[in-house]
A and B are shown apart, each in its own frame.
Chain A
Amino acid sequence: MNAVEVQGVWKYFGDYPALRDLTLAVPRGSCMALLGRNGAGKTTLLRILAGLSRPAKGTVTILGADTRARASRVGVGVLGHGIGVYEELSAIENLRLFARLYGVENPERTASEWLERAGLERVRDGLVREFSRGMRQRLAVARAFLHEPTLLLLDEPFTALDDRAIAVLQTLLRRARDEGRSIIMSTHQLREALELATDVALINRGRLAYTGPRTDEMLNDPGWLYRNYGEA
């Protein structure tokens, strides 16, 4: 069974089709770099996969279930454009909340361990509104990973991260990939994405222009994919 199966998906914003008959399969254990120019439809696709939006036409299954089914959402970790943590709660309260929502055993211990892993254990009781940008980003990464998801959906995860948060995220992503978790990651940072990816998908104006394994040719020349399959 594939981690993600997208079959003939269309999504409209008004009359404009953001996704056009998009079909994509992501095998379990693969790390897919989702590439495309701004407005290509990457975020729209990731929002549908995360269960935050429904397609107008077509079907999407995550880990064999509907995107809104509890069975699929419990196994998915999402890191979007927003950090998804509450300003008025402390770091530990934020992680404990999401650990409870995901039904994690021993939320207190899990939250503490993830704070340590993100390098935030010294500010565990500090309110997020008092955190620096980098600290917030690391907390957001911990929130997305704390239930050890089978599938990770990351929308431009390296954008606007500070060096320390990038290091935390890269370590966690490598570990997740090595443990056989599935990752779908939209990004404009081609070299970093291709180094991590096992598979690549390129979207042009809502259509899938290319999907296949990441090759050495792509790694040696990150622009190769856009030149051969991108928009004219």
Chain B
Amino acid sequence: MTPAGSIATTVKPELAALRWVRGAAAVCAKDLRSELRSKDTINASLSFALVILLLFSFAFDPGVDTVREISGGLLWLVFAFAGALVLNRSYARELVNDCLDALLSSPVSGAQLFLGKCVANFVLLVAVEVICIPVFGIFYNVNWTRHLGQLAITFALGTWALTVIGTMFSAMTVNLRLRELMLPILVYPMMIPALMAAIQLTTVLMAGNTVSADNLIWFKVLIGFDIIFTILGVSFVDTVLIG
């Protein structure tokens, strides 16, 4: 054993806001690094999404216009189901070796933990979507690149909605025995407004149309949903985790 000498460890004085962001970023980087090493959830989520897309492509005739009309619904249901696999592991991975206790007893707040995990989950879900959307375009003969900017915004807002709700309920169900079952049961009903908005916008954009004033309300619904549930998550996660 190395003899115990004196290590001059000092705690950095820094701006509270900067310290807050650094803490959340450390949690996010930790989650992404762990996932990149194990690839447990990303592999499961991606293969599940691709298999479902493939199976539906056999079920529907890809040449028919009606496929484009259901494209939004099809894509978002696939992402919602595949996303549950990622979100379920978000807090559950902290149970190994009681890492959640180690994190919660550190100065990192529940809100930092929540936002750090949200960003990590968002990155993982976007990675799944970035691979699945071109595959969807090929299988279903849909040109999805016509309004790429609006499509990217729609997917970013919709994915954040899924992420923030899923991460919040992942924290709530982390200590339940049936958490794999409970998470989808809790998440999907809460997701209905955001899913409806994302489905409507995606369908319009996949059909080659631009988002008009008639459809702008769905963007507002998505933005409002994201803001409200992000604030709720940040405000209540400490109560959820500590009691």
Q: Which residue among A82, A143, A175 has the maximum number of chain B CB atoms within 10 Å of its CB?
A: A82
In the assembled complex, how far is the CB of residue B28 from the closest CB belonging to chain A, in whole angstroms?
11
Please give, as numbers and ranges, the residues of chain A lying within 8 Å of B1 by CB-CB distance: 119, 164, 167-168, 171
Q: Which residues in chain A, 186-208, are within 8 Å of chain B measured between CB atoms?
A: none
Chain A residue nearest to B112 (CB atoms) is: A101
Q: Which residue among A70, A103, A119, A168 has the maximum number of chain B CB atoms within 10 Å of its CB?
A: A103
Please give, as numbers and ranges, the residues of chain A lying within 8 Å of B212 by CB-CB distance: none
Please give, as numbers and ranges, the residues of chain A lying within 8 Å of B10 by CB-CB distance: 104-105
Binds B, one of A28-36, A51-59, A219-227: A51-59
Please give, as numbers and ranges, the residues of chain A lying within 8 Å of B102 by CB-CB distance: 78, 80, 82, 84-85, 98, 143
A141 to B97, CA, bound (A): 13
Please give, as numbers and ranges, the residues of chain A lying within 8 Å of B101 by CB-CB distance: 50, 52, 78, 80, 82, 84
- A218 in the interface (beta carbon within 8 A): no
Q: Decide if A52 touches B11 in the complex (CB within 8 Å).
A: no
A147 to B34, CA, bound (A): 23
Q: Decide if B12 touches A85 in the complex (CB within 8 Å).
A: no
Given contacts A119-B2, A146-B9, A147-B11, whether A82 and B30 have CB atoms under 8 Å apart is no
Binds A, one of B19-27, B45-53, B65-73, B80-88: B19-27
- B180 in the interface (beta carbon within 8 A): no
- A83 in the interface (beta carbon within 8 A): yes
Q: Decide if A172 touches B4 in the complex (CB within 8 Å).
A: yes
Q: Decide if B33 touches A53 in the complex (CB within 8 Å).
A: no
In the assembled complex, how far is the CB of residue A171 from the closest CB belonging to chain B, in whole angstroms?
5
Binds A, one of B103-111, B194-202, B213-221, B225-233: B103-111
A116 to B34, CA, bound (A): 24
- A87 in the interface (beta carbon within 8 A): yes
A87 to B35, CA, bound (A): 11
Q: Decide if B9 touches A105 in the complex (CB within 8 Å).
A: yes
Given contacts A51-B242, A110-B7, A116-B2, whether A88 and B38 have CB atoms under 8 Å apart is yes
Please give, as numbers and ranges, the residues of chain B lying within 8 Å of A73 by CB-CB distance: 105-107
Q: Decide if B4 touches A171 in the complex (CB within 8 Å).
A: yes
Q: Which residue among A104, A105, A175 has the maximum number of chain B CB atoms within 10 Å of its CB?
A: A105
- A123 in the interface (beta carbon within 8 A): no
Task: List residues of A whose CB falls within 8 A of some B CB.
Answer: 50-54, 68, 70, 73-74, 76, 78, 80-89, 93, 97-98, 100-105, 110, 113-114, 116-119, 127, 136, 143, 146-148, 164, 167-168, 171-172, 175
22 residue pairs of the A-B complex, CB under 8 angstroms, read A51-B105, A52-B104, A54-B243, A74-B107, A76-B105, A78-B102, A81-B98, A85-B99, A86-B34, A87-B97, A89-B37, A97-B26, A98-B106, A101-B26, A101-B103, A110-B7, A114-B7, A116-B2, A117-B7, A147-B9, A148-B7, A168-B1
8 A-B pairs with the lowest CB-CB distances in the bound complex, closest first:
A82-B98, A84-B102, A88-B34, A78-B105, A88-B37, A148-B9, A101-B106, A100-B26
